[in-house]
Amino acid sequence: MPISLDAGSPASPSSATATTSTTQASGSFSPPARSLVVVLVWVGNRASSSTGPTVTVADSLSNTYTAGPNSYDTRYAYAGIFSFYYAAAPGSITVTATRDQSTLGVLAVFPVVLDGCASSQAGAASATADSPTSIVSSLTGTITTTIRGSWVLIAMGDANDNTHVVVAGTTDLASVLDAPDAVSAEFGQQTSPTVTPGATTLGWTIAVGTTGYAWAALEILPAALPSSPAQLPNFPVIIPVNSGWRNAGHSR
């Protein structure tokens, strides 16, 4: 069974803007048995902070999610990825991200429910990237996939409220723009399942350079290895969810 996006995945991230809260819960969703839930998390600070947050994720049944890659640009943006495999259907749940700081800004959580994943994700590739001080227009990173049929999920936080354009090979899952705090984020995936494992660059670009970004990517391993590329599924077309207005002109 190839990896696929479960129909029960939440349609959009849950977030709070201009907040000092240390927690953010998702909406309710019901993962099926033998599903992997991957939670994409973004923290965007209104004011610069050299020390990034420590973030944890747990569900409403007190299951602690495994922390995957995370990145902080040493100023405004944090991006992290967490996962948990449900051998049995847990019923309706929520997931909550908790940070150890109460810095004014935004905290967003986006659960992605996947079917057809290996129960153990040991050996999956991960990668991070960031730009703490330079003005950049390419908000990307490179991950080296390990196995045919794998997916890659991505979280990216931008230190400004920009309009992002995907690079080749990347598909948007959801967008978040926090105008009050002048920060933005993207959650995405590799457009097609891995055919030939190796290095691939994923992410977004912007027309006007930003003052920093944080990027994290996690490879998702399939439950069974496809015997040929022809057995790889086509990814669904997903319309990005924009939780705020956008502009391309704001800078710090």
The residue among 134 and 99 whose pLDDT is bigger is 99
178 vs 59: which has the higher pLDDT: 59
Q: What share of the chain is helix, strand, coil (3-state, %, to 5)?
A: 0, 50, 50
Per-residue confidence (pLDDT) for residue 134, from 0 to 100? 72
* Cα 68 to Cα 115: distance, rounded to the nearest angstrom: 19
Whether 248 shows a pLDDT value over 80: the answer reads no
pLDDT in tens, 123-180: 999 999 999 877 889 999 999 999 999 999 999 999 998 999 999 999 999 999 888 8
d(CA 56, CA 74): 19
* Residue 136: predicted pLDDT: 87
Q: Which segments within the chain are labelled E, that is strand?
A: 4-5, 14-19, 23-25, 35-45, 55-59, 66-72, 77-86, 95-99, 105-115, 126-131, 136-144, 151-158, 165-166, 170-178, 183-190, 199-210, 213-220
pLDDT of residue 233: 52
Nearest to 195 by CA among 150, 234, 164: 150
How many CA atoms does the CB half-sphere of 15 hold within 13 Å? 31
Burial 150-183 (b: 16+ CB within 10 A, else e): bbbbbbbbbbbbbbbebbeebbbbbbbbbeebbb
Per-residue pLDDT at 82 exceeds 80: yes
Higher-scoring residue by pLDDT: 220, 211? 220
Judge whether 193 and 134 are in contact, CB under 8 Å: no
Residue 252 contacts residue 160 (beta carbons within 8 Å): yes
Q: Cα–Cα distance between 85 and 31 in angstroms, integer?
A: 10
Predicted confidence at residue 91, as pLDDT, reads 98
Segment 86-94 mean pLDDT: 98
- Residue 181 pLDDT level (bands cut at 50, 70, 90): confident
**What mean pLDDT is reported for the chain?**
90
Average pLDDT for residues 187-202, to the nearest whole number? 97
Interstrand relation of 126-131 and 23-25 (parallel, antiparallel or unpaired) = unpaired
- pLDDT score, position 197: 98
Nearest in space to 21 (alpha carbons), one of 121, 115, 131, 103: 103
Structural domain boundaries of the chain?
A: 4-231
Q: Cα-Cα-Cα-Cα dihedral of 167, 175, 36, 169, to 10°?
A: -10
- Compute the C-alpha angle 116/67/3, nearest 5°: 10
Question: Residue 22: pLDDT above 70?
Answer: yes
